[in-house]
Amino acid sequence: MGKLLDNIRDAVRDGQYVVGWHADERCEERGVTDWQIIAGLDEAALVRERPASKPNPSVVLRQSLPDGTEVEVIWSWLSPSRRAKLVTVYFRD
């Protein structure tokens, strides 16, 4: 597991995260709440780290919702403020 994912998990545990507008809209469309994503973060599997993604480094995670549905989630790392940002959530095809 990479340092980027560690930073994101630590920030979320400490309440240092934001939910982006896009993520909020996608969650609403898909009937998912952000607490479901946050609750599953520690068990989420790393698909890939994208340290060079713009505007912020990000990770793609695969996780299960409480009902067993699998989703992929993108979190980014806002290094100046040392916060995580939930970018988007989508169902796996």
Domain boundary assignment for the chain: 3-91
Query: Quick one: CA dihedral 21, 59, 12, 40, positive or negative?
Result: positive
User: 26 phi and psi, to 5 degrees?
Assistant: -65, -40
Strands 83-91 and 17-19: parallel
Band (91; pLDDT cuts 50, 70, 90): confident
Phi, psi of 72 (to 5 degrees): -110, 145
Residue-wise pLDDT for 14-67, tens only, equals 999 999 999 999 888 888 888 899 999 999 999 999 999 999 999 999 998 888
CA distance 76 to 28: 20
CATH classification for the domain delimited by 3-91, as one of 2.50.20, 3.30.70, 3.30.2310, 2.60.40: 3.30.2310
**Residue 24, SS3?**
helix
- Global confidence as pTM: 0.91
